[in-house]
């Protein structure tokens, strides 16, 4: 798409569109509609699914008809989603509150076509950082880069939080069946227990620390980094740090001042938000975990989904359809949450990662005009892996009073083809979506006595009509994982456009950081507390008394 200047996102109140009004009336009818009745159409799956070479998206088990879909697509058009997609890929300043484009998609674009931000060719900068990541990761993996005593690196400790942690931790865990010889550990909590337990058993001779902080001021990360630096200095001496510390940051000077060699500082940019930074230097632990070739495949997967999103008509466009279905339930059925349920144990961190992507992006109550919003925006995203969840919270999904739309994800080909395990896993995956959609209205059989059967019948009744999306992907590979992550990124973007909010800032997070600094000073045992509210005063007083 052509590089343009600074076209802003549209600022349209969705509730004032004709499509929104029609959807409200249509929803009244659809609340009385049963999925059992809709599936009397034997061609329903054919009408309500789409796929790429590696992913099949089945949305037939949703409370929708062709009319629903038409109205939702009309809503997207009225809210100028096509123009917004063009603006995002073109590098327009769509993150207006921070006066930045949102160009994380450029990080995974394999082409060499120049793109400019503030007069700089970001394509050249991206390629430079990728080459630096490739050379560094290959030296560490092969053992060519030694520690201070001449021994190769065996362990990597990544210190970050939020977007600097969740992305690499999720991808590294998801693709651990591709792992290199290196052992990768992640520390994100400022609780001393996590870093203390991580450092146990490690040798300074063979450990590499990566400090990941865009601003290089994030208190949790820097606290852990200082602890790691002290641990290393006490055992090996500060002069030996150069071979054992790397940094990922937009502030190179701060990283150098911390004691990290310039050759091991990897750049971030202001036009990439933290929760989308896995595609750039924040992916360095992934390069070390699965090799740079694997990381490139991950980038290629993301790019494939970018092409699908940018070029596919909306009626067959996975991110757009997922976004519209989410809006359908959130705004017209009152569903406050969205469950993401991956049937693959390698994806046990995926839901937490997607939770940040959705809730940090679209958890907003002010629209792009600066006005208070009177309709629901970002839903609560939650979930757990496969059959573990079935024996935990699925009871609420089947018979609870809340409507919880669910995304079910599963690979067709297992990472570990042992016995009949995968067939049983997929049987559960398929059976759960069937049960949620169609339920069970007849009383359970096999009980003695007619009266007992009638008495228990209400408790064993499953009404069904619980909507689900099924996302079946060919196999969990770096490529397919990249596609899945980009799929959800674009879904969140489309929803933010329709809700008329800025999805790429996070001012609520910044408030918590600012208040933490003030409260931290008041926890000093020798300092008086001048916080105004009685709750904080009382809690600090008890803390000091127990100390």
CATH of the domain at 345: 3.40.50.10490
Per-residue pLDDT, averaged over 275-294, amounts to: 98
Same domain for 324 and 431?
yes
Same domain for 483 and 511?
no
Same domain for 247 and 156?
yes
Per-residue pLDDT, averaged over 351-378, amounts to: 97
Same domain for 29 and 175?
no
> Residue 113 domain-assigned?
no
Same domain for 490 and 521?
no
pLDDT tens-digit series, residues 417-429: 998 999 999 999 9
Quote the domain boundaries for residue 536: 507-546
> Residue 209 domain-assigned?
yes
Indicate the pairing of strand 120-121 with strand 207-212.
Answer: unpaired
> Residue 380 domain-assigned?
yes
> Residue 67 domain-assigned?
yes
> Residue 222 domain-assigned?
yes
DSSP states of 337-355: EEEEEESSGGGTTHHHHHH
Contact criterion met (CB below 8 Å) for 155 and 182? yes
Same domain for 124 and 142?
yes
Phi-psi region of 419 (alpha: psi -120 to 50; beta: other; left: phi over 0): left
> Residue 302 domain-assigned?
no
Output the pLDDT for position 444.
Answer: 45
Phi-psi region of 35 (alpha: psi -120 to 50; beta: other; left: phi over 0): alpha
Same domain for 51 and 150?
no
> Residue 306 domain-assigned?
no
Task: Give the pLDDT band (50/70/90) at residue 516.
Answer: confident
Annotated catalytic residue: which of 120, 151, 475, 513? 513
Of the candidates 141, 240, 155, the one whose C-alpha atom is nearest the C-alpha of residue 199 is 155
Q: Please give the model's pTM, rounded to 2 decimal places.
A: 0.95
Same domain for 68 and 137?
no
Annotated catalytic residue: which of 220, 296, 297, 360? 360
Query: Is 360 an annotated catalytic residue?
Result: yes
Of the candidates 520, 373, 497, the one whose C-alpha atom is nearest the C-alpha of residue 81 is 497
Residue 367 has pLDDT above 60, yes or no: yes
**Residues in a beta bridge with 411:** 473
> Residue 112 domain-assigned?
no
pLDDT tens-digit series, residues 288-338: 999 999 999 999 999 999 999 999 999 999 999 999 999 999 999 999 999
Report the side by side order of strands in the sheet with 49-51. 49-51, 55-58, 468-475, 406-413, 337-342, 380-382
Same domain for 38 and 87?
yes
Annotated catalytic residue: which of 40, 391, 448, 517? 391
Same domain for 163 and 70?
no
Q: Where in 443-532 does DSSP place strands (E)?
A: 468-475
Contact criterion met (CB below 8 Å) for 416 and 379? no
Of 235, 262, 295, the position where a domain reaches its end is 295
Query: Is 513 an annotated catalytic residue?
Result: yes
Same domain for 429 and 529?
no
Contact criterion met (CB below 8 Å) for 336 and 254? no
* Structural domain count, the chain: 3
Of 269, 295, 321, the position where a domain reaches its end is 295
Same domain for 198 and 242?
yes
């Amino acid at each position: 798409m052509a590089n343009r200047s600074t076209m802003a996102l549209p600022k349209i109140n969705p509730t004032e569109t004709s499509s929104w009004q029609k959807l409200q009336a249509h929803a009244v009818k659809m609340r009385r509609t049963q999925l059992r009745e809709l599936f009397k159409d034997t061609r329903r799956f054919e009408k309500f699914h789409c796929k790429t070479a590696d992913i099949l998206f089945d949305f037939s088990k949703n409370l929708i008809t062709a009319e629903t879909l038409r109205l939702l697509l009309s809503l997207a058009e009225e809210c100028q989603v096509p123009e917004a997609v063009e603006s995002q890929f073109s590098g327009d300043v769509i993150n207006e509150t921070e006066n930045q484009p949102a160009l994380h998609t450029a990080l995974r674009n394999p082409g060499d076509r120049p793109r400019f931000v503030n007069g700089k060719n970001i394509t050249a900068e991206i390629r430079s950082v990728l080459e630096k990541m490739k050379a560094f990761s290959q030296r560490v993996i092969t053992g060519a880069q030694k520690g201070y005593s001449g021994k190769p690196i065996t362990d990597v400790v990544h210190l970050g939080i939020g977007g600097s942690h969740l992305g690499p931790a999720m991808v590294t865990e998801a693709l651990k069946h591709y792992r290199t010889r290196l052992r990768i550990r992640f520390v994100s909590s400022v609780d001393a227990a996590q870093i203390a337990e991580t450092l146990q058993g490690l040798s300074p001779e063979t450990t590499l620390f990566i400090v990941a902080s865009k601003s290089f001021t994030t208190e949790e990360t820097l606290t852990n980094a200082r602890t790691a630096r002290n641990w290393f200095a006490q055992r090996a001496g500060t002069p030996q740090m150069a071979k054992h510390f790397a940094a990922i940051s937009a502030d190179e000077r701060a990283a150098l001042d911390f004691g990290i060699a310039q050759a091991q500082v990897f750049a971030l940019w202001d036009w990439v938000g933290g929760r989308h930074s896995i595609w750039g230097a924040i992916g360095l632990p992934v390069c070390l975990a699965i090799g740079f070739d694997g990381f490139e495949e991950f980038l290629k997967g993301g790019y494939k989904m970018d092409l699908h999103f940018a070029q596919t008509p909306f009626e067959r466009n996975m991110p757009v359809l997922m976004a519209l279905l989410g809006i359908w339930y959130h705004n017209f059925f009152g569903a406050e949450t969205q469950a993401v349920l991956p049937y693959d144990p390698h994806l046990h961190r995926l839901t937490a990662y997607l939770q940040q992507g959705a809730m940090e992006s679209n958890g907003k109550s002010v629209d792009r005009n600066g006005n208070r919003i009177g309709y629901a925006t970002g839903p609560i995203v939650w979930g757990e892996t496969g059959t573990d969840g079935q024996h935990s919270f699925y009871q609420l999904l089947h018979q609870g009073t809340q409507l919880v739309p669910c995304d079910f994800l599963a690979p067709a080909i297992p990472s570990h083809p042992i016995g009949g395990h995968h067939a049983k896993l997929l049987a559960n995956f398929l059976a759960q979506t069937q049960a949620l959609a169609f339920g069970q209205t007849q009383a359970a059989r096999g009980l003695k006595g007619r009266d007992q059967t009638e008495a228990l019948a209400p408790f064993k009744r499953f009404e069904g009509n619980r909507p689900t999306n099924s996302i079946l992907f060919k196999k969990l590979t770096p490529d397919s994982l990249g596609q899945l992550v980009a799929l959800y990124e674009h879904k969140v973007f489309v929803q933010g456009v329709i809700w008329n909010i800025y999805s790429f800032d996070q001012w609520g997070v910044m408030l918590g950081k600012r208040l933490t600094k003030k409260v931290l000073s008041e926890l000093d045992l020798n300092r008086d507390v001048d916080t105004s509210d009685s709750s904080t005063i009382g809690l600090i007083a008890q803390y000091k008394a127990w100390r």
